[in-house]
Amino acid sequence: MSFGCLYELQKLLAMVKGKLILICQSGGEFISKDDGSFSYDGGEANAITINPETVFDDLMLKLAELLNFDHKSLSVKYFLPGNRRTLITLSNDRDLKRMYDFHEDAVTADVFVTGKVGFQREVLTSTGGREKGIKLAETVPAYTGSQAAATTKAPASRSDAFTNSDEPSDANLSPDSPASSPIRFDISSTPADTVKKRRRVASHKKVASSENVGKRRKSVSRKKYVRKRDRSAVDDDMDQEQDYDSQAGDSIFPVTVDNSIVSAENTVAAWKDGITGVGQEFNSVHEFRDALHKYAIAHRFKYRLKKNEKSRASGTCTVEGCSWRIYASWVPSEEVFKIKKMNKTHTCGGESRKAAQPTRSWLVGIIKDKLRENPHCKTKEITESIHRDFGIELNYTQVWRGVLDARERLQGSYKEAYNQLPWFCDKLSEANPGSFVQLSIGDDKRFQNLFVSFQASVHGFQNGCRPLLFLDSTSLKSKHRETLLTATAVDGNDGAFPVAFAIVDIENDDKWHWFLEQLRSAVSTSQTITFVTDKQKGLMKSVLNIFENAHHGYSIFHLLDEFMISLKGPFHGQGKSTLPVNFLAAAQAARLDVFRNSLEQIKRVSLGAYEWLIQIEPEYWTNAVFNGESYHQITFDVAESYANWVEEVRERPLIKKLETILGKMMELMNNRLRDSSGWSTKLTPVKEEKLKEETHKARLLRVLFSSETLFEVHNDSTNVVDMDKQSCSCLEWKVTGLPCRHAIAVFNVTKRSVYDYCSRYFNVDMYHIAYSKSINPVAGLLSTPADGKSKSAKAKLENADVLPPSATKSSSQQKRKRKRDGLIERTVTCTKCLGVGHNKVSCKQVM
- Cα–Cα distance between 238 and 53 in angstroms, integer? 8
pLDDT at 518: 93
Convert 356-373 to b/e letters by CB count within 10 Å (16 or more is b).
bebeeebbbebbbebbee
Q: Is 845 exposed, middle or buried (0-12, 13-18, 19+ CB in 10 A)?
A: exposed
Residue type, 775: I
Using DSSP bridges, classify how beta strands 710-714 and 718-722 pair: parallel, antiparallel or unpaired.
antiparallel
Tell me the three state secondary structure of residue 303: strand
How many other CB atoms are there within 10 angstroms of residue 827's CB atom? 7
pLDDT, position 800: 54
pLDDT of residue 493: 92
> What average pLDDT does this structure show over 257-276?
66
Confidence label for 812 from pLDDT (cuts 50, 70 and 90): very low
What pLDDT sits at residue 356? 57
DSSP class of residue 219 equals: P
- pLDDT at residue 465, rounded to an integer: 92
Please report the pLDDT score of residue 298 as a whole number: 80
User: Where in 57-159 does DSSP place strands (E)?
Assistant: 75-79, 87-89, 108-114, 134-140
C-alpha 574/C-alpha 580 separation (Å) is: 12
Res 782: pLDDT: 46
pLDDT score for 459: 94
Q: Tell which residue, 413, 414, 415, 378, has the closest CA to residue 399.
A: 378
Q: Could you tell me the pLDDT band of residue 815, with boundaries at 50, 70 and 90?
A: very low
Lowest-confidence region among 320-334, 503-517, 564-578, 790-804:
790-804
**Where does the pLDDT of residue 831 fall: very low under 50, low under 70, confident under 90, or very high at 90 and above?**
confident
Task: Check: CB of residue 74 under 8 Å from CB of residue 63.
Answer: yes
Distance between CA atoms of 176 and 322, rounded to whole angstroms?
88
Whether residue 465 contacts residue 483, with contact meaning beta carbons closer than 8 Å, is answered with no
What residues have CB less than 8 Å from 81, skipping those under 6 apart? Answer: 102, 103, 105, 106, 577, 578, 581
- Residue % of the chain over a pLDDT of 70: 74
Of the listed ranges 209-213, 437-441, 829-833, the one predicted with least confidence: 209-213
Residue 156: pLDDT over 50: no
Provide the pLDDT confidence category of residue 742 given band limits of 50, 70 and 90.
Answer: very high
> What torsion, rounded to 10 degrees, do the Cα atoms 110, 115, 118, 120 define?
-80
Helix or strand (DSSP H, E) at 94 = helix 93-102
Other beta carbons less than 10 A from residue 303's beta carbon: 21
The 8-class DSSP code of residue 515 comes to H
Residue 758 pLDDT greater than 90, yes or no: yes
Closest to 74 measured CA to CA, from 10, 129, 118, 43: 118
Express each pLDDT in 463-490 by its tens digit: 999 999 999 998 887 777 889 999 999 9
Q: Which helix (H) or strand (E) holds 703?
A: strand 702-705
Q: How many angstroms separate the CA atoms of 622 and 613, rounded? A: 11
Nearest to 297 by CA among 395, 361, 390, 398: 390
Cα–Cα distance between 155 and 723 in angstroms, integer? 54
Could you tell me the pTM of the whole model?
0.59
- DSSP summary character for residue 836: B
Tell me which H or E stretch contains 407: helix 396-411
Sign for the CA dihedral angle at 825, 831, 837, 841 comes to: negative
What integer is the mean pLDDT of 660-685? 90
Q: Give the DSSP letter string of 467-511.
A: SEEEEEEEE--STT--EEEEEEEE-TTS-EEEEEEEEESS-SHHH
Higher pLDDT, 797 or 291: 291
What pLDDT band is residue 344 in, cutting at 50, 70 and 90?
confident
Reply yes or no on whether the pLDDT at 621 is more than 70.
yes
Confidence of residue 36 (pLDDT cuts 50, 70, 90): low
Sign of CA dihedral 740, 741, 742, 746: positive
Q: Identify the band that residue 798 occupies on the pLDDT scale cut at 50, 70 and 90.
A: very low
Q: Given a cut of 70, is residue 401 above it in pLDDT?
A: yes
Q: What is the pLDDT of residue 468?
A: 93
Lowest mean pLDDT segment, chosen from 252-261, 339-348, 621-630, 654-663: 252-261
| Mean pLDDT for the chain overall | 75
Q: For residue 165, what pLDDT is reported? A: 34
pLDDT at position 51, please?
85
Please give the backbone phi and psi of residue 491, each rounded to the nearest 5 degrees, phi first: -80, 180
Residue 53 has pLDDT above 80, yes or no: yes
pLDDT at 263: 60
Rounded to an integer, the average pLDDT of 256-281 is 69
795 vs 338, higher pLDDT:
338
The packing angle between helices 654-676 and 640-648, to 10°, is 130
CB-based contacts of 244: which residues, under 8 Å, 6+ apart?
210, 215, 216, 217, 218
| Average pLDDT of span 808-831 | 48
> Per-residue pLDDT averaged across 628-649, rounded?
84
Q: What gap in Å lies between CA 54 and CA 92, rounded to an integer?
A: 11
The residues, any chain, with a CB within 8 Å of residue 745's CB and separated by 6 or more, are 698, 701, 702, 703, 713
Burial call 71-87: b when 16+ CB within 10 Å, e when fewer: beebbbbbbbbebbebb
Q: Are 343 and 325 in contact (CB under 8 A)?
A: yes
Q: For residue 134, name the pLDDT band (cuts at 50, 70, 90).
A: low
Percent of the chain with pLDDT over 90: 20
Rounded Cα–Cα distance for residues 595 and 587 (Å): 7
pLDDT score recorded for residue 383? 85
Distance CA 629, CA 469 (A): 10
Q: Encode pLDDT of 81-121 as tens digits.
A: 777 767 787 878 878 888 888 887 778 888 999 888 888 77
With cut-offs at 50, 70 and 90, classify the pLDDT of residue 780: low
Average pLDDT score over residue span 784-796 = 40
Q: What whole-number distance in Å separates Cα of residue 701 and Cα of residue 687? A: 22
**Which residues does 240 contact at the CB level (< 8 Å), separation at least 6?**
217, 218
Total residues belonging to the chain: 847
Residue 436's closest CA among 423, 454, 460?
454
Quick one: which of 532, 557, 552 has its CA closest to 88? 557
Structure-model confidence comparison of residues 655 and 132, the more confident one: 655
Highest mean pLDDT among 196-210, 261-275, 302-316, 815-829: 302-316
Judged against a pLDDT cut of 70, whether residue 243 lies above it is answered with no
